[in-house]
Copies of this chain bind each other. A is one copy, B any other.
Amino acid sequence: MARWEPNASERLAVAALELFAERGYENTTVVEIAERAGLTKSTFFRHFPDKREVLFGGDTMSNLVDKGIAAAPDGATPLEAVAHALDTIGREAFRADRREFGARRRAVIAANPELREREALKGLRLIDSMIEALTRRGVPALAASVAAELGALAWSIAYERWSDPANHEEFGDLASRTLDEVRATTASLA
Protein backbone atom coordinates (compact mmCIF):
# COMPACT_ATOMS: atom_id res chain seq x y z
CA MET A 1 0.00 0.00 0.00
CA ALA A 2 2.92 2.34 0.56
CA ARG A 3 4.01 2.51 -3.08
CA TRP A 4 4.58 5.89 -4.66
CA GLU A 5 1.63 7.20 -6.71
CA PRO A 6 2.45 9.60 -9.55
CA ASN A 7 0.48 12.85 -9.16
CA ALA A 8 -1.49 11.37 -6.26
CA SER A 9 -1.77 14.78 -4.63
CA GLU A 10 -3.18 16.37 -7.78
CA ARG A 11 -5.59 13.47 -8.42
CA LEU A 12 -6.89 13.74 -4.84
CA ALA A 13 -7.43 17.48 -5.21
CA VAL A 14 -9.39 17.04 -8.46
CA ALA A 15 -11.52 14.25 -6.92
CA ALA A 16 -12.18 16.33 -3.78
CA LEU A 17 -13.21 19.35 -5.79
CA GLU A 18 -15.68 17.25 -7.83
CA LEU A 19 -17.21 15.75 -4.68
CA PHE A 20 -17.38 19.07 -2.80
CA ALA A 21 -19.20 20.62 -5.78
CA GLU A 22 -21.55 17.61 -6.15
CA ARG A 23 -22.57 16.99 -2.53
CA GLY A 24 -20.99 19.73 -0.41
CA TYR A 25 -17.80 19.83 1.66
CA GLU A 26 -19.55 18.64 4.87
CA ASN A 27 -21.09 15.60 3.18
CA THR A 28 -17.85 14.31 1.66
CA THR A 29 -15.46 11.95 3.49
CA VAL A 30 -11.74 11.37 3.02
CA VAL A 31 -12.49 7.74 2.07
CA GLU A 32 -14.82 8.92 -0.71
CA ILE A 33 -12.19 11.35 -2.02
CA ALA A 34 -9.56 8.60 -2.09
CA GLU A 35 -11.96 6.18 -3.83
CA ARG A 36 -12.92 8.73 -6.49
CA ALA A 37 -9.21 9.27 -7.18
CA GLY A 38 -8.62 5.49 -7.35
CA LEU A 39 -6.35 5.65 -4.29
CA THR A 40 -6.49 4.56 -0.65
CA LYS A 41 -7.22 6.50 2.52
CA SER A 42 -3.64 5.93 3.70
CA THR A 43 -2.33 7.50 0.48
CA PHE A 44 -4.55 10.52 1.21
CA PHE A 45 -3.05 10.94 4.66
CA ARG A 46 0.50 10.63 3.31
CA HIS A 47 -0.22 13.76 1.29
CA PHE A 48 -2.59 15.78 3.52
CA PRO A 49 -3.11 15.95 7.31
CA ASP A 50 -6.90 16.44 7.01
CA LYS A 51 -9.80 16.87 4.57
CA ARG A 52 -9.56 20.66 4.50
CA GLU A 53 -5.95 20.58 3.31
CA VAL A 54 -6.66 18.70 0.06
CA LEU A 55 -7.47 21.95 -1.81
CA PHE A 56 -4.33 23.68 -0.49
CA GLY A 57 -1.59 21.36 -1.72
CA GLY A 58 0.12 20.71 1.61
CA ASP A 59 3.59 22.28 1.57
CA THR A 60 3.80 22.57 -2.24
CA MET A 61 3.33 26.34 -2.44
CA SER A 62 5.61 27.11 0.50
CA ASN A 63 8.32 25.00 -1.10
CA LEU A 64 7.91 26.75 -4.47
CA VAL A 65 8.08 30.17 -2.80
CA ASP A 66 11.22 29.13 -1.00
CA LYS A 67 12.82 27.77 -4.17
CA GLY A 68 11.79 30.80 -6.27
CA ILE A 69 13.22 33.36 -3.85
CA ALA A 70 16.43 31.38 -3.32
CA ALA A 71 16.96 31.14 -7.11
CA ALA A 72 16.59 34.90 -7.78
CA PRO A 73 19.78 36.53 -9.17
CA ASP A 74 22.36 37.71 -6.62
CA GLY A 75 21.73 41.44 -7.00
CA ALA A 76 17.91 41.15 -6.94
CA THR A 77 16.03 43.59 -4.69
CA PRO A 78 13.56 42.07 -2.19
CA LEU A 79 10.60 42.78 -4.52
CA GLU A 80 12.50 41.35 -7.52
CA ALA A 81 13.13 38.18 -5.50
CA VAL A 82 9.40 37.99 -4.70
CA ALA A 83 8.60 38.47 -8.41
CA HIS A 84 10.92 35.57 -9.16
CA ALA A 85 8.94 33.39 -6.72
CA LEU A 86 5.63 34.36 -8.37
CA ASP A 87 7.08 33.46 -11.75
CA THR A 88 8.22 30.06 -10.41
CA ILE A 89 4.69 29.41 -9.11
CA GLY A 90 3.25 30.28 -12.51
CA ARG A 91 5.59 27.87 -14.28
CA GLU A 92 5.29 24.98 -11.84
CA ALA A 93 1.81 25.22 -10.29
CA PHE A 94 -0.60 27.68 -11.94
CA ARG A 95 -0.09 26.39 -15.46
CA ALA A 96 -2.61 27.11 -18.23
CA ASP A 97 -4.11 23.60 -17.90
CA ARG A 98 -4.94 24.33 -14.23
CA ARG A 99 -6.85 27.55 -14.81
CA GLU A 100 -10.29 25.95 -14.96
CA PHE A 101 -9.53 23.93 -11.82
CA GLY A 102 -8.49 27.22 -10.15
CA ALA A 103 -11.81 28.87 -10.98
CA ARG A 104 -13.84 25.96 -9.57
CA ARG A 105 -11.59 25.75 -6.51
CA ARG A 106 -12.14 29.45 -5.76
CA ALA A 107 -15.93 29.00 -5.91
CA VAL A 108 -15.90 25.98 -3.56
CA ILE A 109 -13.69 27.76 -1.00
CA ALA A 110 -15.79 30.93 -1.10
CA ALA A 111 -18.90 28.86 -0.26
CA ASN A 112 -17.45 27.17 2.85
CA PRO A 113 -16.41 28.91 6.10
CA GLU A 114 -14.04 26.10 7.15
CA LEU A 115 -12.23 26.25 3.83
CA ARG A 116 -12.04 30.05 3.98
CA GLU A 117 -10.47 29.76 7.41
CA ARG A 118 -7.85 27.30 6.15
CA GLU A 119 -7.17 29.58 3.18
CA ALA A 120 -6.50 32.48 5.55
CA LEU A 121 -4.03 30.40 7.55
CA LYS A 122 -2.27 29.17 4.40
CA GLY A 123 -1.94 32.78 3.29
CA LEU A 124 -0.10 33.62 6.51
CA ARG A 125 2.15 30.57 6.10
CA LEU A 126 3.08 31.65 2.58
CA ILE A 127 3.97 35.10 3.88
CA ASP A 128 6.13 33.44 6.55
CA SER A 129 7.85 31.34 3.87
CA MET A 130 8.60 34.49 1.86
CA ILE A 131 9.94 36.27 4.96
CA GLU A 132 12.20 33.35 5.84
CA ALA A 133 13.52 32.99 2.29
CA LEU A 134 14.19 36.76 2.03
CA THR A 135 15.91 36.76 5.43
CA ARG A 136 18.24 34.02 4.20
CA ARG A 137 19.22 36.39 1.36
CA GLY A 138 20.24 38.95 3.99
CA VAL A 139 17.14 41.18 3.75
CA PRO A 140 16.50 42.93 7.13
CA ALA A 141 13.45 41.69 9.08
CA LEU A 142 11.04 44.58 8.51
CA ALA A 143 11.93 44.93 4.82
CA ALA A 144 11.36 41.19 4.41
CA SER A 145 7.92 41.50 6.07
CA VAL A 146 6.87 44.44 3.90
CA ALA A 147 8.09 42.78 0.68
CA ALA A 148 6.27 39.56 1.62
CA GLU A 149 2.97 41.39 2.37
CA LEU A 150 3.13 43.27 -0.93
CA GLY A 151 4.02 40.03 -2.74
CA ALA A 152 1.05 38.24 -1.14
CA LEU A 153 -1.27 41.06 -2.15
CA ALA A 154 -0.03 40.92 -5.76
CA TRP A 155 -0.38 37.12 -5.68
CA SER A 156 -3.98 37.23 -4.55
CA ILE A 157 -5.01 39.88 -7.09
CA ALA A 158 -3.15 38.03 -9.88
CA TYR A 159 -4.73 34.68 -8.89
CA GLU A 160 -8.19 36.21 -9.07
CA ARG A 161 -7.44 37.61 -12.53
CA TRP A 162 -5.82 34.39 -13.72
CA SER A 163 -8.62 32.06 -12.56
CA ASP A 164 -11.21 34.11 -14.45
CA PRO A 165 -12.17 31.82 -17.38
CA ALA A 166 -12.20 34.86 -19.71
CA ASN A 167 -8.49 35.47 -19.03
CA HIS A 168 -5.85 33.93 -21.29
CA GLU A 169 -2.61 35.34 -19.89
CA GLU A 170 0.00 33.29 -18.06
CA PHE A 171 0.06 33.58 -14.28
CA GLY A 172 3.70 34.70 -14.21
CA ASP A 173 3.01 37.61 -16.59
CA LEU A 174 -0.11 38.66 -14.69
CA ALA A 175 1.70 38.45 -11.36
CA SER A 176 4.66 40.47 -12.63
CA ARG A 177 2.39 43.24 -13.94
CA THR A 178 0.27 43.20 -10.76
CA LEU A 179 3.39 43.47 -8.59
CA ASP A 180 4.46 46.49 -10.68
CA GLU A 181 1.06 48.09 -10.04
CA VAL A 182 1.31 47.35 -6.30
CA ARG A 183 4.83 48.82 -6.22
CA ALA A 184 3.76 52.01 -8.01
CA THR A 185 0.74 52.44 -5.73
CA THR A 186 2.92 51.84 -2.68
CA ALA A 187 5.43 54.44 -3.81
CA SER A 188 2.65 57.00 -4.09
CA LEU A 189 1.42 56.19 -0.56
CA ALA A 190 4.73 55.95 1.33
Contact = CB atoms under 8 A, between A and B. Distances in A.
A189 B149 contact: no
A190 B142 contact: no
Interface string A81-124: 00000000000000000000000000000000000111011011
Contact of A150 (B117, B146, B188): B146
Nearest to A114: B117
Copies in the complex: 2
A63 to B, nearest CB: 20
A27 interface: no
A181 B142 contact: yes
B149 A149 contact: yes
A172 interface: no
Interface residues of A, number: 30
Given A142-B182, A143-B185, 18 more contacts: A77-B189, A79-B189, A116-B121, A117-B118, A120-B120, A120-B124, A121-B121, A142-B157, A142-B181, A143-B189, A146-B150, A146-B153, A146-B182, A146-B185, A146-B189, A149-B153, A187-B187, A187-B190
- Scoring A79, A120, A184 by chain B CB atoms within 10 A of each residue's CB, the highest score goes to A120
A84 to B, nearest CB: 15
Give the interface SS of chain A, mostly helix, strand, loop or mixed.
helix
Interface string A148-183: 011011000100000000000000000000000111
Interface of A: 77-79, 116-118, 120-121, 123-124, 142-143, 145-147, 149-150, 152-153, 157, 181-190
Contacts of A79: 189-190
A121 B52 CA distance: 15
13 contacts: A78-B189, A79-B189, A117-B121, A120-B121, A120-B123, A143-B188, A145-B157, A146-B150, A146-B186, A149-B152, A149-B153, A150-B186, A186-B186
